[in-house]
Amino acid sequence: MTDISTPRPAVQTDLTGKTILVTGGAGFIGSHVVAALLAQGARVINIDNFNDFYDPAIKRANVLPFLQVPDGRYEQYEVNLCDEAAMQDVFEHHGRTIDRVVHLAAWAGVRPSMQYPVRYHHANVTGTTLLLELMKAHDIGRLVFASSSSVYGACQEAPFVEDQDTTKPVSVYAATKRMGELLLHTYAHLWGLQSVSLRFFTVYGPAQRPDLAIHKFTHRLFNNLPIPVYGDGSAERDFTYIDDIVQGVLAALVYDQTPYEIVNLGESQRISVKALIERLEALTGKTATIDWQPPVPGDVPMTCANIDKARRLLGYNPTVPLDVGLPRFVEWYRRFHGGDNGLDRPLNLGAITAATSN
């Protein structure tokens, strides 16, 4: 048996010929994962309901390159994860051809979860349960689940380690993500469904959702709009570049040493909101106007990932620190919103189509 107590080298993640079902593959993280899978020669089945949590046109632009992939290696279903009949149809059609599942679909965000707790529970808990039942029925035995650093609650002990107490979530979103992790543990114990739950730490990069801090702050700086800051700006976040997250997802897809794992994926560095804005001011050449707001219930004072376990089990090695990733994001924003043809996608279609000729 492989020794998982010592760090592994970078994991070889050749998924050529594998069929991977991705839920939420039109979103920010999902579209990058789909692009990487297609570039490796995998076949992808994407389930996404293109909801209006943010502009669905952004998601449709995200998947546009995939629709050009030849040989039927990309299929897309506009289906709600909680629509049992529609989900049954997808699984009946593809059934046992699916090798693995990447479950990214969810209602996301700490603050809106307080407004719509029933919606969040339905999508994130009921939807996950339905997916697990379909996997069990069709003998699909491996899942990678997108969890969140928010499950650590208001923890003050940094960096966060996977075995820390997560019984005190401070937002509905965090509670639903922890419930997802517990469901996966249960299905591993009862039915042998292998899974890796990845706790993502504040993901950013090209095509980031417009409601997230780095995108929102950059947009407001370029458009001379005030930036809302909740609290005094001292809250700290561990920002993780999308390429590093994708690296971790692909490694988790091929990990098979244990039936159930929870793994942090982060940069393991933190920066305050105030300092982040100062860096964006320098990169954009703009001066921020701050709209100071009271703290929001559910927001946590700090996140920071201990990534020792990710290094040990997955060979995870983040390569894009904030000093590199932030300028990349600002440059993408300039191109996407300010020049060229207005449709300058961050996804590498050349790499995707090249994989079809191998």
Q: Please name the amino acid found at residue 343.
A: L
Q: What secondary structure, in 3-state letters, does the chain show?
A: CCCCCCCCCCCCCCCCCCEEEEECCCCHHHHHHHHHHHHCCCEEEEECCCCCCCCHHHHHHHHHHHHHCCCCCEEEECCCCCCHHHHHHHHHHHHHHCCEEEECCCCCCHHHHHHCHHHHHHHHHHHHHHHHHHHHHCCCCEEEEEEEHHHHCCCCCCCECCCCCCCCCCCHHHHHHHHHHHHHHHHHHHHCCEEEEEEECCEECCCCCCCCHHHHHHHHHHCCCCEEEECCCCCEECCEEHHHHHHHHHHHHHCCCCCEEEEEECCCCCEEHHHHHHHHHHHHCCCCCEEEECCCCCCCCECCECCHHHHHHHCCCCCCCHHHHHHHHHHHHHHHHHCCCCCCCCCCHHHHHHHHHC
* Residue whose entry in the numeric block shows the structure tokens 């994962």: 33
- Residues 157 and 164: beta-carbon distance below 8 Å: yes
Distance of alpha carbon 83 from alpha carbon 86, whole angstroms: 5
Q: CA-based Rg of the chain, rounded to a whole angstrom?
A: 20
Number of C-alpha atoms within 13 angstroms, CB side, residue 87? 22
Clarify whether 173 is annotated catalytic.
yes
The residue annotated as part of the active site, out of 77, 173, 316, 333, is 173
Tokens read off for 124 = 């994130």
Q: Which residues are catalytic?
A: 173
